[in-house]
A = this chain, B = another copy of it.
């Protein structure tokens, strides 16, 4: 059952890395990727856990990673799904804090581990890289702030539509309009910040309105326009 997973070479990781971070020169890249510390995380495997000490961050070479927080009652709130080209856990590394999120592979993934010291040295020595990192962080911050307003003011229906739009943007639809991320109803609920049953009921409603279709975990989006309308995104 266990397939032999081919891990990428340093060159392949570097190439992917450069699509996001183009500011680094050859020697800096070599510093970053000198030891090929790639690791394969099969679907369902934990990457790091909230509250634990963390000694580095991870560059996503492939796969999909769920980044989430666990609230008091043990319910998870999904902060985002990270994919190829994303860096995760750097926030805790930079602030030298315990991880304030957990991360788990929801699709077979290959991650490249970057020790704290390497990241921090790079940030301190290469201001263009630091600038790129600020931009990424600011982008995430803007999204988080908007999401606070949404979750505080919008109805669950509006938020579900919005989350679907975000997923469509981030992971796309194939030629059959099927959303290219496999996600459970519960995870959808944990993004929206609601109960699983509420998501199910609203999806039924969307189905009856001809906005989506679903067979099992495959979601076909048949009317993206209406979805945007419902989400009331300005």
Q: Is A9 an interface residue (CB 8 A)?
A: no
**In the complex, which of the residues A128, A131, A139 has the most CB atoms of chain B within 10 Å of its own CB atom?**
A131
Contact B97 A142 (CB under 8 A): yes
Question: In the docked arrangement, what's the CA distance between A124 and B232, Å?
Answer: 37
Contact B127 A75 (CB under 8 A): no
Q: Is A234 an interface residue (CB 8 A)?
A: yes
Q: Is A170 an interface residue (CB 8 A)?
A: no
In the complex where A141-B137, A153-B193 touch, is A69 in contact with B130 (Cβ < 8 A)? no
Query: What secondary structure prevails in chain A residues at the interface with B?
Result: helix
Contact B95 A149 (CB under 8 A): no
For A138-162 the 0/1 string (1 means CB < 8 A from B) is 1111101111111111100000000
Which residue from B77, B124, B138 sits with its C-beta under 8 Å from A152? B77
Which residue from B73, B79, B97, B123 sits with its C-beta under 8 Å from A131? B123
Contact B124 A128 (CB under 8 A): yes
Contact A75 B146 (CB under 8 A): no
**Which residues of A come within 8 Å of B, CB atoms?**
69, 71-73, 75, 77, 79, 90-92, 94-95, 97, 100-101, 120, 123-128, 130-131, 133-135, 137-142, 144-154, 193-194, 232, 234
- 18 further A-B pairs in the complex, CB-CB below 8 A; given A91-B141, A148-B193: A69-B146, A69-B149, A71-B152, A71-B154, A90-B138, A92-B142, A95-B142, A100-B145, A120-B131, A123-B130, A123-B134, A127-B127, A140-B141, A141-B144, A144-B144, A144-B145, A148-B148, A151-B152
- Can you name 14 A-B residue pairings with CB atoms under 8 Å? A71-B152, A71-B154, A73-B153, A77-B148, A77-B153, A79-B148, A95-B138, A95-B142, A126-B127, A130-B130, A147-B148, A151-B152, A151-B193, A152-B193
